[in-house]
C-alpha cells in the first residue's frame, strides 16, 4: 500500500526532469524508495520535535550528510506548527520530568510573566523531553515505516503468486 502510493507518484516525468536539470538538483533528494522515504520522515520528525525557529533550515543543513526525500522531510517538519506547539511542548515537558524523576509545576498560567518567572524550572525538562522525542520517537517511527513498507512488499508478492 505505502509502496504503491509512492510508486504512482514517483514516475519519471519530463517536466520534473527538466526542473531538476534547470536548478541542478540531485535526483536522490526526491527519491521515493523505502530508505529515502523512511529517512525523510526520520529527519523531518527529528527537527520537528525540537522547539526552535527555522526547523526547515535544520532539515536543509542535514541534507548533505545523507540521502533522504527532502520534500517529505520539509513537509514533516510542519507537523509541529503554531496549533500543535502547546500540546507537543507540554508532552515533551511531561516526559522530561518523568525521565528526570521530577514533579511538574502546578498552577500553570499561560502568561508571559509566569513563563519568565518559571523559565529555569521549565527549560531542562522541556529539552530532555525534546531529546527523547527527537531521537527515540523519530527513530521508532523510522523503524515502523520500514517495517510497514517491507510488509507491504511481502504482501504484494504473496498476492501476485
Instruction: Find out whether 74 and 56 touch, Cβ atoms under 8 Å.
Output: yes
**What is the pLDDT, as a whole number, of residue 106?**
79
The C-alpha cell of 148 is what? Answer: 510497514
> For the stretch 67-100, what's the b/e string if a residue is b when 16 or more beta carbons lie within 10 angstroms of its beta carbon?
bbbbebbbbbbeebeeeeeeebbeebbebbbeee
CA distance 142 to 131: 16
pLDDT at 47: 95
Number of domains in the chain: 1
pLDDT at 76 over 90: yes
Record the pTM: 0.83
Q: How confident is the model at residue 150 (pLDDT cuts 50, 70, 90)?
A: very high
pLDDT reported for residue 12: 59
For the segment 104-130, the average pLDDT, to the nearest whole number, is 88
Question: Phi and psi (nearest 5°) for 25?
Answer: -95, 135
Quick one: pLDDT band at residue 44, thresholds 50, 70, 90? very high
Range of 7's domain? 2-160
Amino acid at each position: 500500500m505505502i509502496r504503491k502510493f509512492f510508486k504512482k507518484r514517483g514516475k519519471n516525468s519530463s517536466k520534473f526532469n527538466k526542473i531538476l536539470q534547470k536548478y541542478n538538483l540531485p535526483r536522490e533528494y526526491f527519491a521515493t524508495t523505502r530508505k529515502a522515504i523512511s529517512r525523510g520522515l526520520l529527519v523531518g520528525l527529528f527537527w520537528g520535535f525540537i522547539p526552535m525557529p527555522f526547523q526547515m533550515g535544520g532539515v536543509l543543513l542535514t541534507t548533505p550528510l545523507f540521502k533522504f526525500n527532502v520534500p517529505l522531510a520539509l513537509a514533516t517538519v510542519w507537523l509541529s506548527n503554531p496549533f500543535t506547539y502547546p500540546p507537543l511542548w507540554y508532552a515533551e515537558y511531561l516526559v522530561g520530568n518523568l525521565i528526570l524523576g521530577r514533579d511538574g509545576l502546578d498552577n500553570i498560567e499561560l502568561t508571559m510573566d509566569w513563563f519568565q518567572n518559571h523559565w529555569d524550572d521549565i527549560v531542562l525538562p522541556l529539552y530532555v523531553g525534546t531529546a527523547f522525542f527527537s531521537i527515540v520517537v523519530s527513530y521508532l517511527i523510522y523503524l515502523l515505516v520500514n517495517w510497514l513498507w517491507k510488509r507491504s512488499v511481502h504482501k504484494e508478492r504473496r498476492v501476485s503468486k
